[in-house]
Amino acid sequence: MNEERHQIILFYKYVHIDDPEAVKAWQEDICARLELKGRGIIAQEGINITFEGTKENIAEYIKELEKDKRFLNIHFKLSASNGNAFPRLSIKVRKEIVSLHLGTCDIDPNQITGVHLAPAELHEWIKNGKEFYIVDMRNVYEHKVGHFKNSILPPIENFRDLPKVVEQIYHLKNKIVLTVCTGGVRCEKASGFLIKGGFTDVYQLDGGIVSYMEKYPNEDFQGKLYVFDGRVTMGFYTDDSKHEIIGKCDHCGEQSENYVNCANPVCHRHFIACENCVTKGDGNVFCMGGCVLSRHGRKISKVEANLI
């Protein structure tokens, strides 16, 4: 019942905002009136939003948002939810709408970014065997549960690793490169960063992976899409029998899409652990590596873990 009544709206826009605090207050007021929960980030460079509410209230939210001309022509991504994806509303003002931390190398997507490639165009590229290279700009733990077939999966821990990614794929600088991420916000900057780094033919997937999965369920994207809310993962499946599980338990290697956090509160690393391994650990599962020491009753620091 709730699944039919609620939606999650995901969107972003790089647009100059003179007074982020004023936009934050405006957003908080709208969300309070429409009983929306979720996360929002406002910065001088733009807005990045994931909210949940009833379908009717989400539709009303879009109307309210578009009263401000700065927020017209946004690609909204809508997906079904059960009304419990977020425990509360949190809207913050930050320096960036995604934490890239590129410093002086930062990119303004309104000045430099890759060509937006529609999901239908990507589908044709794949179908026709066009030569191009998909570079997944998400984090390692997101890759593990789902990704495009034959895509390049750089070992990204956070976006500060982006310069290292450029080094690893620089041999493709004169090839067609397509950057992908969940909803598109990271690709806007990542594609621009590649162009600034000397890549000559750069595209980004318009609307992100979520838009492609919605249009072409069970095609080309393997596994499930990691999302940053209570659902953890999601998929668009017209036929569940075609769903392929590519995630593997970090402990035993069995197929799994079950994410847990390391039981060491100092670490809290996010990883995949199958239900059998979780049961064996009485619900307390530690990530592989140094955190295994926590089983002996001693909490270790991240510094210690990195030394092991």
Average pLDDT, the chain: 89
What is the DSSP annotation of 149-174?
Answer: TT-B----SSGGGHHHHHHHTGGGTT
Answer yes or no: do 137 and 72 share one domain: no
Share of residues in the chain with pLDDT > 70 (%): 89
Active-site residue, selected from the candidate residues 31, 181, 187, 262: 181
Residue 247 lies in a domain: no
Verify that 52 and 161 share a domain, yes or no: no
Is there a domain that residue 245 lies in?
no
Q: Got the DSSP string for 130-151?
A: ---EEEE-S-HHHHTTEEETT-
| Residue 243, Cβ density class (10 Å: 0-12 exposed, 13-18 middle, ≥19 buried) | middle
Residue 6: per-residue pLDDT: 96
| Domain-located, residue 55 | yes
231 in a structural domain: no
Q: How many domains does the chain have?
A: 3
Asked if residue 206 and residue 277 are part of one domain, the reply reads no
How many other CB atoms are there within 10 angstroms of residue 231's CB atom?
A: 18
Residues 164 and 72 in one domain: no
Average pLDDT (176-195) is: 94
Do both 270 and 221 map to the same domain? no
Domain membership flag for residue 249: no
For residue 55, give its domain range. 2-93
Per-residue confidence (pLDDT) for residue 238, from 0 to 100: 67
Q: How far apart are CA 190 and CA 113, in angstroms?
A: 8
Indicate whether 282 and 216 sit together in one domain.
no
Please indicate, yes or no, whether residues 120 and 86 belong to a single structural domain of this protein. Answer: no
Active site residue 181: yes
pLDDT at residue 267, rounded to an integer: 83
Using one digit for the tens of pLDDT, what is the confidence trace for 197-226?
999 999 999 999 999 999 998 899 999 999
Does residue 284 share a domain with residue 210?
no
Q: Encode pLDDT of 42-91 as tens digits.
A: 999 999 999 999 999 999 999 999 999 999 999 999 999 999 999 999 99
Give me the residues paired with residue 234 across strands: 225
Say whether both 87 and 118 belong to one domain: no
Q: Do 263 and 217 belong to one domain?
A: no
In a domain, 233, yes or no: no
Contact (CB, 8 A) for 182 and 233: no
Give the domain CATH number at 204. 3.40.250.10
Rounded to two decimals, what is the model's pTM?
0.87
Would residue 246 count as lying in a domain?
Answer: no
Instruction: Examine the fold and report which residue of 226, 242, 272 is the final residue of a domain before the chain moves on.
Output: 226
Residues 201 and 108 in one domain: yes
Of 93, 113, 146, which residue constitutes the final position of a domain? 93
